Amino acid sequence: MLESLLVPTAIVALAEIGDKTQLLALILAARFRKPWPIIAGIIAATLANHAAAGAVGAWFSTFFSAATLHWILAASFAATALWTLIPDKMDDDEASTARRFGPFLTTLIAFFIAEIGDKTQVATVMLAAQYPHLIMVIIGTTLGMLIANVPVVLAGNFAAEKLPLTLIRRLASAAFFVLAAVAVYSAMQVSGWIG
C-alpha cells in the first residue's frame, strides 16, 4: 500500500518541475501575491483532475489481461519518459483566466484545465492502472504536484530560476523509464517468459 503512495508522489514531483502548471503557479503567485488561496486552488484542482484520471486508469485495467496491461503500461511509461524531456510552455489562454476571478477560483480553473492531457494526468492514469490502491495513488500524485508547485508559489520567481530544469527533466524521464522496465519485466513474468 505504501508503494501506491510513494512511487506516484516521487514520479509526479519530478515530472512537474518545469511543467506548464509550474509556470502557471509562478504567474499566479506574481499576479495575486496571495499564496494560500493559490495553494488551496492547486489542491482542489489536482484532487478533482487526478481522481478522474485515477478512476479512468482503474477502470481501464479491468479490460485487459495482466500481461497485456503490463505491456501497455510499459509502452505508456516509455512514451511519457520521452515526453518528459520536452520543456513545457505556458499558453496565454490559461494565464488570461486570472483577469476574471480571484486567486482561488482562478487557480482552480486554470490548474484543472492545464492538467487535462498533461503528462502528470497521463501518469496518474497509468499509475492507477498499475497499483491496486486507487486512493493512495490519487493522494500520491496530488502530493507530488504540491511538492513541485507549493515552493514555487511561496518563493515566487526565485525558485524556478535557480533549479536545474534540464537535470530534473532527465531524472523524471529516467524514473518513467525505470517504471517502463519494471512493467516489461512484470509482463514477461506474467506471460511465463521468465521465472
Residue 26 makes CB contacts below 8 A (sequence gap 6+) with 152, 156, 157, 160
Output the pLDDT for position 30. Answer: 77
Output the pLDDT for position 152. Answer: 86
Other residues' Cβ atoms within 10 Å of the Cβ of residue 155: 15
- Tell whether 66 is covered by a domain: yes
Distance of alpha carbon 152 from alpha carbon 3, whole angstroms? 27
What's the pTM value of the predicted model, to 2 decimals? 0.72
Q: Which three cell numbers stand for residue 182?
A: 519494471
Instruction: Give which of 179, 175, 173 is closest to 82, Cα–Cα.
Output: 173
Predicted confidence (pLDDT) at residue 95 exceeds the cutoff of 70: no
- Tell whether 194 is covered by a domain: no
Task: Domain of residue 54: give its range.
Answer: 1-189
- Tell whether 31 is covered by a domain: yes
| pLDDT tier, 134 (very low <50, low <70, confident <90, very high otherwise) | very high
State the DSSP string of 109-157. HHHHHHHTT-HHHHHHHHHHHH-S-HHHHHHHHHHHHHHHHHHHHHHTH
Average pLDDT estimate for 133-142 = 95
- Tell whether 13 is covered by a domain: yes
Map residue 113 onto helix, strand or coil: helix
- Tell whether 195 is covered by a domain: no
Predicted confidence (pLDDT) at residue 138 exceeds the cutoff of 90: yes
Least confident window among 4-8, 34-38, 93-97, 131-135:
93-97
Map residue 64 onto helix, strand or coil: coil
- Tell whether 178 is covered by a domain: yes
Output the pLDDT for position 96. Answer: 54
- Tell whether 114 is covered by a domain: yes
- Tell whether 180 is covered by a domain: yes
Output the pLDDT for position 171. Answer: 77
Number of domains in the chain: 1
pLDDT in tens, 159-184: 555 656 677 678 777 877 887 888 78
Q: Could you tell me if 61 and 69 are in contact, meaning their C-beta atoms sit under 8 angstroms apart?
A: yes
Instruction: Give which of 156, 15, 147 is closest to 77, Cα–Cα.
Output: 15
